[in-house]
A and B are shown apart, each in its own frame.
Chain A
Amino acid sequence: MIKIANIIIYVIFATLGYLSYQSAQTLPEGLFGDIGAGALPSALGIGLIALAAVGIIQDVQRKPETTRSLEIQPRQWALKMLLIIGFIGGWQLLGYFFVFLPLFLFTSFCFLSTKTLKSVVLQNALVASGLTVGAYLLFVFTLNIQFG
């Protein structure tokens, strides 16, 4: 599994290298000895393709039993990602940062907590509120930054 993931990532890097090279080719050459703005990105693009190719060859030759599997809780990870995306997305679309912040904190605390006791939920709500007030005092009151 990890071998395939490795190869996929190498292919992504090779594509990135190719795109960088292509993009850098549109830049004009330098004058008076200067190598030009596109020289370094071009060279790095080629370097990335070459390294990715070497990586693919190494991985193809690698014995499968030497690979380490990723120890990830996919459901937990995906939910955490959704919470982050929901927090930023909601804040960007609707504003009300100081509404979304405690909501995000509270739901994340409850979701990641191993205990579901009422006292823990109450504690989570208190910590989320406290942190929100702290953030307001620090960013808005002290640093005069508007979050929308």
Chain B
Amino acid sequence: MFDVTMLYVLASHLPAIFLGLFVGIFFGALPGLGMIVGITLLLPLSYNMDAVGAILMLLAVYQGAEYGGSISAIVLKIPGTAMAAPIMIDGVPMAEQQSPGKALGYSLYGSTFGGLFGAIVLVLFAMPIADLALTLGDAEIFLLGLLGLIAVSGLAEATLVKSLIAVVLGLLVGTIGIDLMTGLPRLTMGLPELYDGPNLIAIVVGLFAISEVLSMAATRMKSPQAIDPKNMRTNLSLGEIKHTLKAMLTGSTVGVATGVLPGVGSTISSWLAYAAAKKLGRDKTLFGRGAPEGIVAPDAANNATVGGALLPFLALGIPGSASIAIIAGAFVIHGVQPGPQLMRMNPQFIQDLFVGFIVTTICMFFMGRFLTTLFARALTIPRSILAPTITALSLCGVYVSSSNFFDLWLAIGLGVATFFLRNMGYPIANFILALILAPIIEKSFRRALTISEGNYEIFISTPTAFMLSLTVGGLIIGLVVKFIRQPAAEARP
């Protein structure tokens, strides 16, 4: 499996991996920005890279941000990302009683263990799942895509109506452009710039970068908090590592399992992992007072989620989260169609990706070990510098992707719209997921019907399709029940 060619390939991708990790840890550490802004900023750069390097860079952002969130949670007592919130419960007391470095050390070891665990699960299970997926027809692929969308709609924190509107809008935007089955332009308003569909990078930049910058500009710019970057040594003894192995394993298992499920994501997985580690912990009374298990378990879960989330995406071609949906954009840009065919037809690509993913996790460990102080210092960068820099960089990125001013205005327009919609409680992640899934869902649905000559029984004609249809039906009933039970008065605006 490992030869000189692969070493060369890996070495050529190391700069991209390190850049991705740096951006990921940096944006993960900055409260409010997070991994999606980091991925968004680097996505345009991926245009000028080969497919493996581009995807590894974006995956490195994802991995790095999962660890980066813990830095501000422990140092500033503000979680950099939502999934880092449970790390504060034990991370902050440990930082106060021992040192921030010790808490960050546990966080780093947990993240690395979780990342490697997720990668191993990915390597072991991706091919068997892809083999299984090869037996699936268009009807099953359609139902799987639909299942993901319904699960995401039901799990969103927003009101059901707003969550569904975000999904419908995403699907609608996903249909813009030339219809691949008939060659007819749809919803393009006569604009030739929209014939290939709206530029994905412009959409992602508008949705995540510009809207975030506008949110920063709309709130009062606070002076950055002063931090004391002392005692940041992330050393752990062998005994300390051995003591937390069980919690790391628990967190990683929870992380992978929740990562596979569409729409669940790291936020839920880190809380579940914390609860599981507490339940299985030797001394439950230590939790909340600086227990190492309370830090490593959620951190391991966060990073294991990445491998888990990649599993259905690479094996079935169906992204299960907003971050993976944006990474899916990189696949699309490079003309790579994830799914069982890719696993079978391009094993070298998959092999490079898997090995690169493991290397990314190892690099994250070393970057965390030696640069955590630097990332902690990054927390002092004023927002007044960050916001315009992100704006300029993201707009440059959009221009690089198409050399077209239409896309710049599109990004700005979407940024403004998203700024308002986010404030009104619309889940933007649902939109992007639906946008990426739209062509998969539509194409497989129409192909299935063409094969069956318009007979809808094709969606229950095989045992798998029947089971999937039943699950979809069950979830729809669940959504209806949720809608009826969700009182309007309690709904968020």
- Interface positions of A (Cβ within 8 A of B): 2-3, 5-6, 9, 13, 16, 20, 23-24, 27-28, 30, 32-38, 40-41, 44-45, 47-48, 51-52, 54-55, 58-59, 61-63, 66-68, 70-74, 76-77, 80-81, 83-85, 87-88, 92, 101, 104-105, 108-109, 112-115, 124, 127, 131, 135, 139, 143, 145, 147
8 A-B pairs with least C-beta separation? A108-B388, A33-B454, A112-B384, A80-B217, A37-B179, A33-B453, A113-B384, A77-B218
Residues of chain B lying within 8 A (CB to CB) of residue A51: 161, 164-165, 168
| Contact A81/B388 with A48-B172, A51-B164, A143-B400 known, Cβ cut-off 8 Å | no
Q: B345: CB under 8 A from chain A?
A: no
By CB atoms of chain B within 10 A, which of A2, A16, A58 has the most?
A58
Asked if B382 contacts A113 (CB within 8 A), the reply is yes
Kindly state whether residue B219 has any CB partner on chain A within 8 Å: yes
The yes or no answer to B124 lying at the interface (CB within 8 A) is: no
Task: Report yes or no: B171 in contact with A84, Cβ–Cβ below 8 A.
Answer: no
Q: Which of A6, A44, A115 contacts B168 (CB 8 A)?
A: A44
CB of B111 to closest CB in A, whole Å? 29
- Which residues of B are found within 8 Å of A84, using beta-carbon distances? 210, 391, 395, 412
Assess whether A135 is in contact with B396, with CB atoms less than 8 Å apart.
yes
Asked if B131 is at the interface (CB within 8 A of a chain A CB), the reply is no
Q: Is the CB of B181 within 8 A of A37?
A: yes
Q: Do the beta carbons of A71 and B219 come within 8 Å of each other?
A: yes
Please tell me if the beta carbons of A58 and B182 are within 8 angstroms of each other in the complex. no
Neighbour of B455 across the interface among A33, A44, A68, A83, CB < 8 A: A33
Evaluate contact between A48 and B182: CB separation under 8 angstroms. no
User: Which residues of chain B from 29 to 59 have any CB-CB distance to chain A below 8 Å in the complex?
Assistant: 48
**Contact indicator A24/B186 (Cβ below 8 Å):** yes
Whether the pair A73, B219 counts as a contact (CB closer than 8 A) is yes
Which among A61, A80, A127, A131 has the highest number of chain B CB atoms within 10 Å? A80
B residues within 8 A CB of A30?
181-182, 446
Q: Is the interface of A mostly helix, strand, loop or mixed?
A: helix
Known A58-B491, A112-B384: A72·B218 in contact at CB below 8 Å: yes
Contact A34 B446 (CB under 8 A): yes
Q: Which of B85-93, B95-103, B262-270, B417-425 contacts A (4 or more CB under 8 A)?
A: B417-425
In the complex, chain B residues 400-418 whose Cβ is within 8 Å of any chain A Cβ: 400, 403, 405, 408-409, 412, 416
Contacts of B213 in A (CB 8 A): 80
What B residues does A20 contact at CB under 8 A?
172, 187
The answer to whether B446 touches A127 (Cβ under 8 A) is: no
Q: Is the CB of A44 within 8 A of B165?
A: no
Residues of B430-466 contacting chain A, CB below 8 A: 442, 445-446, 449-455
Contacts of B191-248 to chain A: CB distance below 8 A: 210, 213-214, 217-223
How far is A30 from B443 in the complex, measured between Cα atoms in Å?
A: 13
Report the bound CA distance from A63 to B491 in whole Å: 10
Question: Which B residues are in CB contact (< 8 Å) with A124?
Answer: 385
Residue B369 at the chain A interface, CB threshold 8 Å: no
**Per a CB cutoff under 8 Å, which of B169, B218, B445 touches A76?**
B218
Determine which of A28, A66, A131 lies in contact with B389 in the assembled complex, contact meaning CB atoms within 8 Å.
Answer: A131
Nearest-Cβ distance from residue A67 to partner chain B, whole angstroms: 5
B333 to chain A, nearest CB (A): 15
By a CB distance below 8 angstroms, the chain B residues around A113 are: 221, 382, 384
The docked-state distance in angstroms from the alpha carbon of A57 to that of B385 is 43
Beta-carbon contact of B409 and A62 below 8 Å: no
Contact between B175 and A55, CB atoms less than 8 A apart: no
Q: Known contacts being A66-B489, A92-B405, is A37 close to B389, with CB within 8 Å?
A: no
Contact check, A68 vs B492: say whether CB atoms are below 8 A apart: yes
CA distance A24 to B165 in the complex (A): 19
| Known contacts A2-B424, A41-B175, A58-B161: A104-B446 contact under CB 8 Å | no
Known: A30-B446, A48-B172, A55-B165. 5 other contacts (CB 8 A): A9-B421, A33-B453, A51-B161, A62-B488, A76-B220
The CA of A81 and the CA of B231, in the complex, are separated in Å by 42
Cα–Cα, bound, A80→B391 (Å): 10
Q: Select the residue from B182, B210, B421, B445 with max chain A CB neighbours within 10 A.
A: B182
Instruction: For the complex, give the distance between the alpha carbons of A44 and B169 in Å.
Output: 8
Interface members, chain B 378-403 (any A CB < 8 Å) = 382-385, 387-389, 391-393, 395-396, 399-400, 403
Are B384 and A114 interface neighbours, CB within 8 A? yes
Q: Is the CB of A55 within 8 A of B220?
A: no
CA A87 to CA B423, docked complex, whole Å: 26
In the complex the two chains form, what is the Cα distance from A63 to B168 in whole Å? 27
CB-CB under 8 A from B175, the residues of chain A are 40-41, 44
Contact A73 to B220, CB < 8 A, known contacts A37-B182, A37-B186, A40-B442? yes
Given known A40-B442, A112-B383, contact A33–B493 (CB-CB < 8 A): no
User: What residues of B have a CB within 8 angstroms of the CB of A147 in the complex?
Assistant: 396, 399
B489–A48 touching, CB < 8 Å: no
Q: Is the beta-carbon distance between B392 and A105 smaller than 8 angstroms?
A: yes
Partner of A73, one of B161, B218, B445, B450: B218
Instruction: Find chain A residues with CB under 8 A from B442 CB.
Output: 40
Q: Which of B165, B219, B385 contacts A109 (CB 8 A)?
A: B385
- B283 in the interface, Cβ–Cβ < 8 Å? no
Q: Any chain A CB within 8 A of the CB of B490? A: yes
